[in-house]
Chain A
Amino acid sequence: MTVNAYPVLDVRVRRKAFSGSEVLRDVHLQLQEGECVTLVGASGCGKSTLLRIAAGLERDYEGQVRLDGQVTAGPTRDIRFVFQEPRLFPWLSVARNVAFDGDGSADAARVEQLLDEVGLAGFGARLPKELSGGQAQRVAIARGLFVQPRVLLLDEPFSAVDAFTRLKLQELLLRVARAHRIAVLMVTHDIDEAVYLGDRVLVFEASPGRITASIAVDVPQPRDRDGPAVGATIAAVRQALQRAHAF
């Protein structure tokens, strides 16, 4: 039996700049198998850029991304991205959107199983325009799971839905990540969400973007959102965030 000595994802950015202004400096981040790490920080502090680098969408930076110890060059099937907006192809049915990463041989059974998992059984034939925002984002999550990735990157995926839908989507994310043993790296503006979902919460500082604090959430899942342990961690994250941004 071989033990995987490498973290599933290892992102190291020495420097990333957009037209001269530095957005990331010396950021190092590791993701263990099945781990959920959340990133919080003010807008424009480079969190999304870090995610895009990890996804392989951003290639002009100093540093490297390793997947199981192997340096990646560009997007790979082992890493999927769920964007802030659902980004479904409007001309494709829900089922075809989910199976977009497939090789064309529409795997109907797998699509139906994924739709069932995200609570949209029977929605396969619908067009994206017939979905609500929360439903569309669930389709986007199903699409992210379709190729059985090792890592799921999410960039504020629940920021555009109402509070109740957001709670349900958080439960959904925890459930599917555990069921598929996927490591999750998620950017969020919501401290409660970061603590509730994350095994670790990374606090970002702005200009240049850097990780200033890594706060472990030592509360076993399933967590009590209103419990004292979660509450104490939320307070710790908030204080770290305030120090980082000196409000």
Chain B
Amino acid sequence: MRLGWVAAHLLPPPSEIAHTLLALAGQGLAGHVLVSTARVLAGFVAGAGLAIALGVWVGLSRRAEAVLDPSFQALRAIPSLAWVPLLLLWLGIDEGAKLALIAIGAFFPVYMGVASGLRDVDRKLVEVAEMAGLKPIALARRVLLPAALPAVWTGLRNGLSLAWMFMVAAELIAATRGLGYLLTDGRETGRADIVLAAIVLLALMGKLTDSGMQVLENRWLSWRDTVATR
């Protein structure tokens, strides 16, 4: 850039991006980050909560699996952006459509993690529980869910990172605040530095929340006898 190989207005140097970040910080940058984070968390909680409930049902009931799982697999194959027109029609351009899109993004990885985690529980452990005379609910609580937790957790982590992605998609379409709005704003005003600043913040926030998940994982799944927990 210094050598003039790339035009500075297209790829500004890191120093200028830092500058922009500082300048934006004085103009409500924290508000943008907060709005986006709140959307991601709300959408993630809704999507993941529903996914856990349905995933448990499908994972534990052969009949539910036969009825619901093929439909979910078909829905999963739909590209995220295909939902946008429908959500806009149904929910308008308000907050509802954005949260719904984020929830859809978070739903499928979590659903897959829960359902497959429950299906893959070691039959040998289930037999021990059977010998102990556990009833179905106790079996699910004491054996199936803990055994499925590693897969569930992977699903939650993937779901959270997808929630960030879908948040940007949602905010790019229609938003007046948030990191996605900054991206649009930067593009429309020809400010590559703002676009890059928003991208840097997205990377940072995504990494931050994922690290949080990892800390919890290390705490709750430390019993695993794996390369990671050696």
B161 to chain A, nearest CB (A): 25
A76–B147 alpha-carbon span in the complex (Å) = 24
A: contact size bracket = 20 to 34
B-contacting residues of A (Cβ < 8 Å)? 55-57, 75-77, 80-81, 83, 85, 87, 89-92, 100-101, 127-129
B134 to chain A, nearest CB (A): 9
Closest chain A residue to B223 by CB distance?
A91
A22 to chain B, nearest CB (A): 23
* B225 in the interface (beta carbon within 8 A): yes
The total of interchain contacts (Cβ-Cβ below 8 angstroms) comes to 49
A110–B124 alpha-carbon span in the complex (Å) = 26
Say what secondary structure dominates the interface of chain B.
Answer: helix
Q: List 21 A-B contacts (CB under 8 A).
A: A55-B131, A57-B127, A57-B131, A75-B130, A76-B133, A83-B124, A87-B124, A87-B128, A89-B143, A90-B224, A90-B225, A91-B223, A92-B223, A100-B128, A101-B131, A101-B132, A101-B133, A127-B222, A127-B223, A128-B223, A129-B229
* B125 in the interface (beta carbon within 8 A): yes
Assess whether A87 is in contact with B125, with CB atoms less than 8 Å apart. Answer: yes
Residues of B near A90 (CB, < 8 A) are: 223-225
B122 to chain A, nearest CB (A): 8
Closest 10 CB pairs of A and B: A129-B225, A91-B223, A101-B132, A91-B146, A75-B131, A87-B128, A127-B223, A90-B223, A87-B124, A81-B131
A205–B222 alpha-carbon span in the complex (Å) = 46
A129–B225 alpha-carbon span in the complex (Å) = 6
Given the known inter-chain contacts A57-B127, A90-B225, please indicate yes or no for A75 contacting B133, CB distance below 8 A: yes
